[in-house]
Structure formats: C-alpha cells, structure tokens
Amino acid sequence: MNQRPLSPHLGVYKFTYTMTLSILHRITGVASSVGFLVFAWWLMALASGPSSYETAMRYLSSPLGKLLLVGFTFSFVYHFCNGIRHMVWDTGRGLERAQARRSGWFVIVAALVLTALLVWIGCAAIAPPAGGP
C-alpha cells in the first residue's frame, strides 16, 4: 500500500473572504461568457428579421429572462471590477491583508451599485414616456 501524503483539499483550508472572491471571480467569468452568447443570439435575431427578433424579445422580456439579464449584468460588472483589482495587484500595490480586504469590499459594493445603475438606466431607456402618446 502506498503511503504518499494527500494533496491539500478544501477540508484542509479555512474558508476565507479571498477564497469567496476568487471563486466568485471564476463563476462570474463563466456567467459573463454565457451572457455574451445570449447577446450574440439576440444580435443574430435582430439581423434575421422581425419574426426572429420578436421570438428573442419574448424570451428576454419574460420574468426569467429579465432575471438572467440582471444576473449577466452583475457578473460582467463584478468580473470587470475584480479584474481591475487584480491588475492593481500586478503592480505590487494593495497586497497587504487590510488593503486586500478593503479592495474586496469595494469591488462588491461597486459591482452592486454599478449593476443597479445600469439596470435603472436600461429600464428608463425602454420605459414609455410619462405623458403617453
């Protein structure tokens, strides 16, 4: 029987905020990729004519479609903001524990605020005029 040591796994590590942010960065990268595929599908539907566009809009304007669009928006914004954080780290700045924790919270808050702002702008852009026709 081989008595080699086991490789470290999740049971060995204490779950920390840095692990959470790292895992979330990977998840949002995948979700953003899926979101861009949905965007490409919408563009192809737009280019394919009114019938295809109507079908795409029916799916995207459903409650589930709207929820997915908000999720895709958050995933893109979080991944973008956290990518900037990583670029700053690449310069050797912000690597101390307190700085990393502060920048992590900043990324989360910025992603939530920017997502809310983008969703609000998007809703305002498609809302009918207040006075009506």
Residue 25, domain CATH: 1.20.1300.10
Residue 80 burial (CB count, 10 A): 16
Instruction: For residue 106, give the amino acid letter.
Output: F
d(CA 36, CA 73): 10
Residue 108 burial (CB count, 10 A): 17
Residue 35, pLDDT > 80, answer yes
Q: Summarize pLDDT for 49-78 with one digit per residue, the tens.
A: 999 999 999 999 999 999 999 999 999 999
In a domain, 2, yes or no: no
Helix then strand then coil, % of the chain, to nearest 5: 75, 0, 25
Residue 73 burial (CB count, 10 A): 19
pTM of the complete model: 0.84
In a domain, 25, yes or no: yes
Q: Summarize pLDDT for 115-127 with one digit per residue, the tens.
A: 999 999 998 888 7
Number of domains in the chain: 1
Q: Could you please report the per-residue DSSP string of 5-52?
A: PPPP-TTTSPP-HHHHHHHHHHHHHHHHHHHHHHHHHHHHHHHH-HHH
DSSP reduced 3-state for 98: helix
Nearest to 73 by CA among 112, 41, 103: 112
In a domain, 131, yes or no: no
CB neighbours of 118 closer than 8 A, spacing ≥ 6?
73, 77
Q: Mean pLDDT in the chain?
A: 91
In a domain, 83, yes or no: yes
| Domain span at 77 | 18-126
In a domain, 8, yes or no: no
